[in-house]
Chains A and B, each alone.
Chain A
Amino acid sequence: MAAPRVLLLLAAAALLAVSSVGDASGEGPRGRKLLVLVDDLAVRSSHSAFFGSLQARGLDLEFRLADDPKLSLHRYDHSASDLIRGIATECGVDFDEDPEAMVIDHINYASSEVEGDHTLIAGDDLIQSDVILGSKKIEAPVLFRGIGHAANPSNSLVLKVLSASPSAYSANPEAKLASVPSLTGSAISLVSVMQARNNARVLISGSLDLFSNRFLKSGVQKAGSKMSHDKAGNEQFVTETSKWVFHERGHLKAVNVKHHKVGETNEPSMYRINDDLEYSVEIYEWSGTSWKPYVADDVQIQFFMMSPYVLKNMSTDKTAVYSASFKVPDVYGVFQFKVEYQRLGYTGLSLAKQIPVRPYRHDEYERFITSAFPYYAASFSTMGAFFIFSVAYLYHK
């Protein structure tokens, strides 16, 4: 097939969810329309199992060729693979420079009677994340054949979902090694994801075959291992990661922020130092069809002014309400109720609500202080003595 590498890069990275942000309570965070950009319409049939599973989940697919003039995406005067490389670099992923390179692993390859060049990798180094890969463990290795990439270490938003094994390297299998390969070992990432700060999600894979019907249905036996699996982990892997990428899992929203003094129900506009207050928020997770309560034990509330004065874990009774109560610090100023929640694979929550805190009024202090009694006694005894003296002095003979 002509230009397989371009196919690998282009179609693999180009599943865009055209998002019409749905805010109504029944609608999810992203729309259901999906634009599929391909280089060759044959992908529609060779990957029909994957596309079929997406349609079964309610996504509305539309297939277009990458240079379709009716698309409002423009293609500049570069080759498609350069464009994809550029987009990937922006997302923190650097592909191997050599367009003929493939990931080769002479120890962790999948046994195949048809090809013997060890480019069919049986990958089982998956990221430990139930959000991205689903709660069920992927038992069988995932088949991969394609180009490798590395996650930029200075990028804090990119994650390696499927990494290569320590014996893997990226080189052209047909030719002898001309120079030291730039990508070797576990630094090679086969499939990466990136979640941007605006919670947009991107999945970058160097292999288009990973999603193809053939790999989804094929069995796998890792070289050197006696265990052979009837079905490779590809189908489960592809289904679960596509659920995560299309925001059907791991998308949180926080609503109904409430705070009040303990014992009252209305929300005051200002607190006084040393008040006891209670803060509550509701957090939901989109499950693909509806918003379900999010259950976790590590959501924290901060009472923040330049730095957190109070940081407390919030507790939940599994009905999406998270609450905590604490005493207002004895520092006055303008504080914020801050919830900063960033967890692997989940969209970030960043809530802030400003609230002033005032010091004691002049009449909120202690009224009569025992250690001041001598002073009270002095004052009043002087007044009494003055009265008696005035009487005595005027009328004494």
Chain B
Amino acid sequence: MIGVVKNDIVKLFGTIKSYDDGTFYFDEKYVDGSEYKGPITTSASVVRGVTSFANVVSGKLNIPGEKILGLAKFFLGIGLPGSAKDCFNQIESLSLLENNRIFVPLILSLPSKVLSLTSKDQLKVEVTTVFGSAAPPLRVNLVQVLGSDSKIITTDSKELQFDLDNNVHYLDITPLKIDVGKYSLVFEITLQDSEHETVYTTGGRNTESVVVTGLIKVDKAEIGISENDAGSAESVEKLDLLKDTKVSLSANHLQKLRLSFQLSTPLGRTFKPHQVFLKLKHESKVEHLFVVPGSARQFKIVLDFLGLVEKFYYLSGTYDLELSVGDASMENSFLRALGQLELDLPEAPEKAPRPPAQAVDPLAKFRPQKEIEHIFRVPEKRPLQEVSLAFTGLTLLPFIGFLIGLMRLGVNLKNFPSLPGPAAFASLFHAGIAAVLLLYVLFWVKLDLFTTLKYLSFLGVFLVFVGHRTLSHLSNTTAKQKTA
């Protein structure tokens, strides 16, 4: 029965999954969101079962040590799980693996993966159980150092010394003459007691990557303008790239800009950083970036403006120069403003491409607008009140003159009919005329046309009747006087 279970366990471990970095885990098929348990829960239940079984069963389980180590690395690699259940599973599995009867995994870790040559850091390695307890006596050897592109730097095996107080294996890297850069270090752990080989699993060779950093020296920096064909630079200025400089250069499209400098590592070799950019920024915010190519000796860039006229969109004017040099292994990466370049390029032809639109400061779009007050139409200027009144007086003068004239002429009303009948009609006639004139005045003051016309029609009929009687009577009287 036990043998069957042992076989099944071996088969179960055959279905283990792994990530690329050496971690192993168990997972179930994803069927339904609510029932899916996830790799943490699944792996934890396997670890729980297998370690409990191994603790009570006699004899060894046939599980390769690297799978146990992989499971331990999986649970360590989760970090801080989010749910309480996952946290419980993680801690429980690690504690079961801490001292289980199959293999106790020993984890190799580097407390610091960044070593600085400037501060003379030592390479420190820790080998502990999953919960950090001390490992049995063992030796850690640095067997290989591989550079980037897997270039082998050194293969002499160096044993790391053991610091008992801090439980750390350490090694001075300065005698190794390792320069700045990224390296893969291959460690080999060997247990001092051969009996421990059946109890602990170390994974044999462990590879860890480190970055060695240092201060990079910059010197022989020069910038200048040279003519198109001649080799010698016309004006060369030495630059101190330890601080911002303010050179002032001017060039036209027939000239070239030269910039050169040397970079060397603390050990004196030439250094090729990841980022070596020269940026030219026009006053209209259009930018151009160039990678400064590096050879074995130095970094040098030559900007031939004749070929760059179109790339620069024919924009003449002031360009700000900026040099940025940086790398992961460089402790003094810098971004330096070099100065300004007055560039004189020819005029853009009709079909030249326009420079790309530049970003507008978003805050500028959202300002309140300027207030607008409506300017009302100024009414026309009128003459002064006194002037109007003066002219009113002048207008009335003829009337007054008329009255005075009538007085002078000795006007009389002798011809007014004396008989009561005609006299009444005559009075009514003149009263009617006066009424019509009064109606006109009333119309001007407040009446509207319809009312006025209504009254006028009444008055008009009346006036015709009365007027006819009066005037015919008057004409009869005059005719009688004439014939008599």
Complex Cα distance, B380 from A369, in Å, reads 13
Q: Nearest-CB distance from A225 to chain B (Å)?
A: 14
Known A113-B111, A380-B441: A167·B360 in contact at CB below 8 Å: no
Contact across chains for B33 and A65 when beta carbons are under 8 A apart: yes
Question: Does B206 have its Cβ within 8 Å of any Cβ on chain A?
Answer: no
Complex Cα distance, B369 from A312, in Å, reads 9
Contact across chains for B328 and A106 when beta carbons are under 8 A apart: yes
**Nearest A residue (CB) for B116:** A116
Q: Nearest-CB distance from B87 to chain A (Å)?
A: 9
Apart from A127-B362, A159-B362, A374-B394: 12 A-B pairs, beta carbons within 8 A: A2-B20, A106-B328, A113-B114, A153-B358, A173-B274, A176-B274, A311-B371, A377-B392, A385-B399, A391-B413, A395-B415, A397-B414
Which listed residue, B289, B399, B440, touches A381 by the CB 8 Å rule?
A: B399
Q: Nearest-CB distance from B425 to chain A (Å)?
A: 12
Q: Nearest-CB distance from A306 to chain B (Å)?
A: 13
20 contacts between A and B (CB under 8 A): A41-B38, A44-B82, A68-B33, A107-B333, A107-B335, A113-B114, A116-B213, A118-B326, A151-B359, A153-B358, A156-B360, A156-B365, A312-B371, A331-B374, A370-B388, A373-B392, A383-B441, A392-B411, A394-B474, A397-B414
Complex Cα distance, B411 from A164, in Å, reads 110
Known A176-B274, A396-B411: A116·B376 in contact at CB below 8 Å: no
Question: Does B230 have its Cβ within 8 Å of any Cβ on chain A?
Answer: no
Chain A 29-61, CB within 8 Å of chain B: the 1/0 string? 000000000000110111111000000000000
Complex Cα distance, B371 from A354, in Å, reads 21
Complex Cα distance, B360 from A179, in Å, reads 28
Which residues from 123 to 158 on chain A have a C-beta closer than 8 Å to any C-beta of chain B?
Answer: 127-128, 151, 153-154, 156
Number of B residues, CB within 8 Å of A = 86
- Which of the candidate stretches A15-23, A180-188, A200-208 sits at the interface with the other chain? A180-188
Question: B residues engaging A (CB < 8 A)?
Answer: 19-20, 33, 36, 38-39, 79-83, 86, 111-114, 182, 210-211, 213, 274-275, 277, 279, 287, 289-291, 322, 324, 326-330, 333-335, 356-360, 362-363, 365-366, 368-374, 376-377, 382-383, 385, 387-389, 391-392, 394-396, 398-399, 402-403, 406, 411-416, 426, 430, 433-434, 437, 440-441, 474
Q: Name the residue among B79, B289, B372, B377 with the largest chain A CB count within 10 angstroms.
A: B372
Contact across chains for A394 and B415 when beta carbons are under 8 A apart: yes
Q: Nearest-CB distance from B435 to chain A (Å)?
A: 11
Contact across chains for B328 and A153 when beta carbons are under 8 A apart: no
Tell me what chain B mostly uses at the interface: helix, strand, loop, or mixed. Answer: mixed
Complex Cα distance, B395 from A118, in Å, reads 100
Known A128-B363, A153-B357, A167-B326: A387·B82 in contact at CB below 8 Å: no
Contact across chains for A397 and B275 when beta carbons are under 8 A apart: no
